[in-house]
Amino acid sequence: MANHSDDLPQLNISMEEKDKLVAEVIRYVLFKNHQNSGSPIKRDELTQIVTKNYRHRTRPSSTNQGRVSSQQSAADAKSYVLISQLPADVYRKYVEDVNSAHVTGFTFVVISVVLLAGGKIPEENLWHHLKKMGLFENDESHPALGNIKQALETLVQQRYLQKDKISGPEGNILVYELAERALDGPVNERVKEYISQVVKRDVASVVIK
Amino acid sequence: MTRPVKREPHITPHPAAGGSTSSSSRLINGGAETSDMDSREATERRLLRSLYRDVKRIITDERDDVERVDSDKFNSIINQVEDLHKSVQKPREQVADAEALLDITNSLVALVKAHGNDGITPSDFVNGLLRDFGRQDGPSTSDESSRNLVAWKDIGLAVSHIFSGCPGCHTMVGPMDTELKQRKAVVGRRRTRPTGSVQPEEVNDSGGKERTDTDKNMATMFSILKNKRSVKLENLVLNRKSFAQTVENLFALSFLVKDGRAEIKVNENGWHLVCKIFINAFILKCLLPPFFLIV
């Protein structure tokens, strides 16, 4: 994160005031993260918290003001998610939520199927694979996952997947594609690694036999 | 693999002769033969399209076998399509043939993509999951067990380190900007009876009014009797100008006599006299034996 402490005297913001603003932003992010079920939080919402009391104050002028404003508008389109940086064993022991583990499992399985299908899969093919695991498109009361269609839609909102419409010979086809959070480097690598473990266990058991 | 270009077969026109009967009968017979051939051809084409649909169904249902590297399914399907292609002559069947080829091509594309993942296909992955995390609750006869095939929680616990999501915070009571809803003032609703109210007609109580008049007459008559100790009956009752008044007076007098407040007696001259009875005298008269008479 960039250090803006040099700008603070020019903006007449004391250290205490800065800490207070940071606390408000963090509080907002923590509660919003729970409310949104992990969906990304827009930067605009966080900016409003900081600037609502400082509208009359402006940043110091710059010779490259045009470039700054365009960069700022691009930055405003960003959104943020919370990811734990704790080591895996510490995370499992102290942070992991057992009550929502089934949702994590579903997320992993769907991302893996789309990844193995080349990063993009028609909706019909995705449901073909999910049906083998007892997940049906019109099931609204699954014992663990509830409304399956809604659970899939949540993955789109959380930006693990994105939906595209492609025109085909028989009309429009809905296609699911991996989105930013699934394509993120560390996440993508760990998914591939665990997929290999699941499949190679099968290969290893065959070899032993 | 190249396929020969399909062309429409050249149909020579039927030699038709006009005029003579024999040639017309030959024309009718020829027409019947043509219609038989057309219907046979339509049946064959329908059968061919049905076979193409079966092939497409096999490609969809047995996709997993088709995508496997070591499977013969792909070869058998492609050979089947090739055999069917030899019978194709019309555009409709050509479309079915092209669609079958498209489905096979899509399966091939999926197979090639799998090679980029060390040969792992989504089906391999799903089979591995079912093997490692499948539920062993017995035969899946019920609808519930058919949906509950995988231990999703166990998968989630195994892969939680991949996503490392944060649970966040929540409040017990909900958002802090919730405003208290003001209670609406209860407005009483005028209840209207479903049926119209009926008020019975008031009976004209003329008897009461007469009694009131009678009471007045009685009071007037009694005051006259108080002033004069005894009055001749005809003077008290008769009204020579109104017979109705006479009857009313007689009626009022009869009440006075009934109540014991007046008496009618006949003197030695034969006159009927009406006298007022004193109350005390009336009471004694009722209590004492009849031979005691107090006037």
pLDDT tens digits for range A105-155: 999 999 999 999 888 898 988 999 999 999 999 888 888 899 999 999 999
pLDDT tens track for A26-67: 999 998 998 888 899 999 988 888 888 776 655 544 444 444
Last residue of a domain, one of A23, A52, A80: A80
Q: Is the pLDDT of residue A2 over 50?
A: no
Please indicate, yes or no, whether residues A64 and A156 belong to a single structural domain of this protein: no
User: Cβ B102–A143 below 8 Å, yes or no?
Assistant: no
Please indicate, yes or no, whether residues A155 and A184 belong to a single structural domain of this protein: yes
Please indicate, yes or no, whether residues A119 and A185 belong to a single structural domain of this protein: yes
- Tell me the pLDDT of chain A averaged across its residues: 81
Asked if the structure places residue B76 within a domain, the reply is yes
User: Cβ B160–A101 below 8 Å, yes or no?
Assistant: yes
* B105-125 mean pLDDT: 76
**CA gap A3, A129 in Å, rounded:** 48
* B49-78 mean pLDDT: 79
Last residue of a domain, one of A80, A99, A124: A80
User: Cβ A202–B159 below 8 Å, yes or no?
Assistant: no
Please indicate, yes or no, whether residues A143 and A63 belong to a single structural domain of this protein: no
Q: How many structural domains are present in chain A?
A: 2
B130 contacts chain A (CB < 8 A):
yes
Please classify residue B270 by burial: count the beta carbons closer than 10 Å to its beta carbon, then call 0-12 exposed, 13-18 middle and 19+ buried: exposed
* Cα dist from B268 to A99, A144, B237, B265, B279, whole Å: 126, 125, 21, 10, 26
pLDDT of residue B42: 87
pLDDT of residue A179: 92
Higher-pLDDT residue of A169 and B168 is: B168
> Residue B233's domain is classified under what CATH number?
1.10.10.580
All residues of chain A having their beta carbon less than 8 Å from the beta carbon of residue B111 are none
Please indicate, yes or no, whether residues A24 and A111 belong to a single structural domain of this protein: no
pLDDT of residue A64: 46
Q: Is the pLDDT of residue B271 over 60?
A: yes
Do B100 and B52 meet the contact criterion of CB atoms below 8 Å apart?
A: yes
Last residue of a domain, one of B120, B155, B183: B120
Please, which residues bridge with residue A162 across strands?
Answer: A177
Last residue of a domain, one of A80, A96, A121: A80
Asked if the structure places residue B231 within a domain, the reply is yes
Please indicate, yes or no, whether residues A57 and A97 belong to a single structural domain of this protein: no
Please indicate, yes or no, whether residues A106 and A177 belong to a single structural domain of this protein: yes
Q: Is the pLDDT of residue B141 over 60?
A: no
Q: Between residues 143 and 182 of chain B, which touch chain A (CB distance below 8 Å)?
A: 144, 146-150, 152-171
DSSP letter at A142 equals B
- Tell me the pLDDT of chain B averaged across its residues: 76
Asked if the structure places residue B274 within a domain, the reply is yes
pLDDT tens track for B77-109: 888 888 988 888 888 889 888 988 888 887 777
**CA gap A101, A18 in Å, rounded:** 37
Range of the domain at B92: 22-120
| Best residue in B126, B137, B177 for a mutation probing chain A (most A CBs within 10 Å) | B126
Q: Is the pLDDT of residue A201 over 60?
A: yes
Q: Cβ neighbours of residue B152 under 8 Å, at least 6 residues apart?
A: A101, A102, A105, A106, A144, A145, B133
Q: Is the pLDDT of residue A10 over 80?
A: no
Q: Cβ neighbours of residue B145 under 8 Å, at least 6 residues apart?
A: B135, B137, B138, B139
A1-15, B20-34, B68-82: range with highest mean pLDDT: B68-82
All residues of chain A having their beta carbon less than 8 Å from the beta carbon of residue B127 are 202
Range of the domain at A29: 2-80
Q: Which has the minimum average pLDDT: A24-33, A198-207, B94-103, B217-226?
A: A198-207
Name the token pair of B279. Answer: 């109350």
**CA gap A30, A170 in Å, rounded:** 46
User: Cβ A198–B125 below 8 Å, yes or no?
Assistant: yes
Higher-pLDDT residue of B191 and A48 is: A48
Higher-pLDDT residue of B292 and A193 is: A193
pLDDT of residue B164: 86
Question: What is chain B's Cα-based Rg?
Answer: 62
pLDDT tens track for A69-86: 445 555 557 899 998 899
Asked if the structure places residue B12 within a domain, the reply is no
Q: Is the pLDDT of residue A19 over 80?
A: yes
User: Cβ B129–A115 below 8 Å, yes or no?
Assistant: no
pLDDT of residue A72: 52
pLDDT of residue B115: 67
Q: Is the pLDDT of residue B286 over 70?
A: no
Higher-pLDDT residue of B173 and A165 is: A165
Higher-pLDDT residue of B143 and B150 is: B150
Q: Is the pLDDT of residue B211 over 60?
A: no
Dihedral pair phi/psi, residue B33, rounded to 5°: -65, -40
Last residue of a domain, one of B95, B120, B145: B120
Q: Which has the minimum average pLDDT: A116-130, A177-191, B105-119?
A: B105-119
- Could you report how far apart the first and last alpha carbons of chain A are, in Å? 54
B127 contacts chain A (CB < 8 A):
yes
pLDDT of residue A41: 92
User: Cβ B125–A112 below 8 Å, yes or no?
Assistant: yes
* B274-285 mean pLDDT: 67
**Alpha-carbon torsion angle B230, B235, B236, B239, nearest 10:** 180
What is the complex's ipTM, to 2 decimals?
0.78
> Residue A171's domain is classified under what CATH number?
1.10.10.1210
* A83-94 mean pLDDT: 89
Asked if the structure places residue B293 within a domain, the reply is no
Q: How many structural domains are present in chain B?
A: 2
Please indicate, yes or no, whether residues A114 and A45 belong to a single structural domain of this protein: no
- Provide DSSP, chain B: ---PPP-PPP-PPP----SSHHHHHHHHHHHHHHHHHHHHHHHHHHHHHHHHHHHHHHHHHTHHHHH-TT-SHHHHHHHHHHHHHTT--SHHHHHHHHHHHHHHHHHHHHHHHHHTTTT--HHHHHHHHHHHHB---S---SHHHHH--B-HHHHHHHHHHHH-B------SS--TTPPPPPPPPP-PPPP--SS----PPPP--HHHHHHHHHHHHHHHHHHHHHHSSEEEHHHHH--TT-HHHHHHHHHHHHHHHHHTSEEEEE-TT--EEEEEPPHHHHHHHHHS-TT----
Q: Is the pLDDT of residue B7 over 70?
A: no
Q: Which has the minimum average pLDDT: A101-115, A163-177, B61-75, B229-243?
A: B61-75
Last residue of a domain, one of B120, B155, B185: B120
User: Cβ B156–A35 below 8 Å, yes or no?
Assistant: no
* Cα dist from A75 to A79, A83, B268, whole Å: 9, 20, 140
Asked if the structure places residue B282 within a domain, the reply is yes
Q: Is the pLDDT of residue B152 over 60?
A: yes
